[in-house]
């Protein structure tokens, strides 16, 4: 590889890891808020987590990787999102 490409790849990898970590942190925060009954806070954290993981997935695609861990995090976020929505619907009845 050309040194510029290596440097670019390393930079994208770093940014990807940073976004993935932020998404995981927001997901954990949303889980705690959900357990405490703060559905609005959980939804807000999940929206942030979605944005972070989508950014990480864009970087995965640009690097030509499979992004297994990013997809796993995304699945966890979507599962929790569904739980929050279900709980909101129960409370609104």
pLDDT in tens, the chain (93 residues): 688 888 999 999 999 999 999 999 999 999 999 999 999 999 999 999 999 999 999 999 999 999 999 999 999 999 999 999 999 999 887
pTM, entire model = 0.91
Residue 1, pLDDT score: 63
d(CA 83, CA 39): 10
Domain boundaries, position 28: 3-92
Residue 20, pLDDT score: 97
What is the domain count for the chain? Answer: 1
d(CA 9, CA 49): 23
């Amino acid at each position: 590889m050309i040194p510029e490409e290596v440097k670019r790849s390393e930079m994208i990898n770093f940014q990807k890891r940073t976004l993935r970590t932020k998404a995981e942190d927001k997901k954990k925060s949303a889980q705690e808020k959900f357990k405490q009954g703060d559905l609005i806070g959980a939804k807000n954290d999940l929206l942030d987590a979605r944005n972070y993981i989508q950014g990480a997935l864009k970087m995965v695609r640009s690097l030509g990787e499979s992004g297994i861990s990013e997809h796993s995090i995304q699945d966890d976020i979507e599962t929790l999102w569904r739980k929050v929505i279900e709980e909101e619907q129960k409370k609104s009845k």
